[in-house]
């Protein structure tokens, strides 16, 4: 599935690797009181939550940006043929390369691959399997990775720690590093000619957000600052995998404040349909999510 939007002169496509009610409420948000959830069901269901299953709908998305002659892939999903502990991500065999190509991101045309943070569901299509070896999927691209996350993962890998990033460092990051395709990003700069970088620690300590500004409009690729639109209305909620609770809440609060003030189209990695939208309200009176339907696809 491929959906398209415009931000000024830039064209943005979100490619859905898969989507479904994959996460139980108690798993994704261990501190969530299900009684509190009830007041939000009228807008969460059915696209973000399935009440009779008590499961959140989670999308696995890969973003493709066409801007200024560059073809930029942001967060590379799970990938095919990758052995993962989570059943929903283990040994996928999907058609994602064809969908990326339909969005104008062929293996040869991609100029930049941007990673918001180092988790296995954001780096998978960095590589693909060629004659039994993991090779860079986009050999002509520069891979822009958060230096803090990379340094921590590499240190664990060189110490012989098993299953760094649930195995994804070895099969999806290290081959790109060995090929000399990685550029490190640590915040406070612009990359790929159009993306302003912001360090937003908490989900991982090196998590980065990327702001795309064009023609007086703004969109922000927020990675996993939120796993569900529920966190817009309940921003104190952390997910099960946020590595530092206080930093995660502070980054989320800043993200919501800026998005509301700047009228930014927010593009998190895992929201259900329509996958993007706007943050309305303020910290004093509360925030709410305004979904943004995609436009016509032109590829």
Within the chain, strands assigned E span 2-7, 10-24, 49-50, 55-67, 70-74, 112-114, 127-130, 133-136, 142-146, 182-185, 190-191, 195-199, 208-214, 217-221, 265-266, 277-282, 286-291
CATH number of 2-291: 3.60.15.10
Q: Tokens 């994804």 belong to which residue?
A: 168
* Per-residue pLDDT tens digits for 193-206: 999 999 999 999 99
For the segment 166-180, the average pLDDT, to the nearest whole number, is 97
At 127-165, the pLDDT tens digits run 999 999 999 999 999 999 999 999 999 999 999 988 999
Residue 144, token pair as written in the block: 């822009």
> Quick one: tokens of 180?
């000399």
Q: DSSP code of 295?
A: B
pLDDT in tens, 73-128: 999 999 999 999 999 999 999 999 999 999 999 999 999 999 999 999 999 999 99
Query: Alpha carbon of 245 to those of 10, 31, 110, 226, 235: distances in Å?
Result: 34, 12, 35, 13, 12
Q: What is the pLDDT of residues 12-48, one digit of tens each?
A: 999 999 999 999 999 999 999 999 999 999 999 999 9
Domains of the chain, by residue range, sit at 2-291
On average, the pLDDT of the chain sits at 95
CB contact set of 207 (below 8 Å; sequence gap of 6+): 116, 117, 146, 149, 199, 200, 201, 223, 224, 225, 251
Judged against a pLDDT cut of 90, whether residue 298 lies above it is answered with no
Number of CB atoms found within 10 A of residue 18's CB:
17
Q: Tokens at residue 46, please?
A: 């059915």
């Amino acid at each position: 599935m491929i959906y398209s939007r415009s931000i000024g002169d830039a064209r943005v496509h979100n490619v859905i690797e898969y989507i479904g009610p994959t996460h139980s409420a108690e798993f994704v948000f261990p501190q969530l009181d299900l009684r509190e959830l009830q007041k939000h069901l009228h807008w969460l269901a059915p696209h973000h939550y399935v009440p009779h299953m008590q499961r959140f709908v989670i999308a696995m998305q890969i973003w493709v940006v066409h801007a200024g002659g560059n073809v930029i892939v942001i967060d590379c999903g799970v990938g095919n043929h990758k052995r993962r502990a989570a059943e929903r991500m283990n040994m996928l065999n999907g058609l994602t390369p064809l969908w990326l190509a339909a969005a104008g991101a062929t293996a040869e045309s991609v100029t930049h691959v941007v990673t918001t943070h180092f988790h296995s569901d954001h780096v998978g299509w960095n590589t693909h399997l060629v004659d039994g070896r993991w090779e860079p999927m986009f050999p002509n691209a520069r891979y822009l990775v958060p230096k803090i996350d990379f340094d921590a993962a590499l240190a664990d890998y060189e110490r012989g720690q098993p299953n760094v990033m649930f195995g994804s460092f070895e099969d999806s990051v290290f081959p790109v590093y060995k090929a000399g395709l990685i550029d490190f990003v640590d915040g406070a700069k612009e990359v790929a000619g159009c993306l302003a970088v912001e360090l937003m620690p908490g989900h991982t300590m090196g998590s980065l957000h990327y702001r795309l500004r064009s023609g007086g409009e703004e969109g922000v690729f927020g990675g996993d600052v939120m796993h569900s639109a529920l966190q817009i209305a309940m921003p104190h909620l952390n997910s099960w995998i946020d590595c530092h609770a206080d930093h995660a809440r502070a980054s989320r609060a800043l993200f919501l404040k800026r998005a509301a003030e700047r009228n930014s189209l927010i593009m998190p990695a895992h929201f259900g349909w329509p996958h993007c939208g706007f943050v309305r309200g303020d910290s004093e009176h509360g925030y709410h999510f305004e979904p943004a339907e995609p436009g016509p696809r032109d590829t």
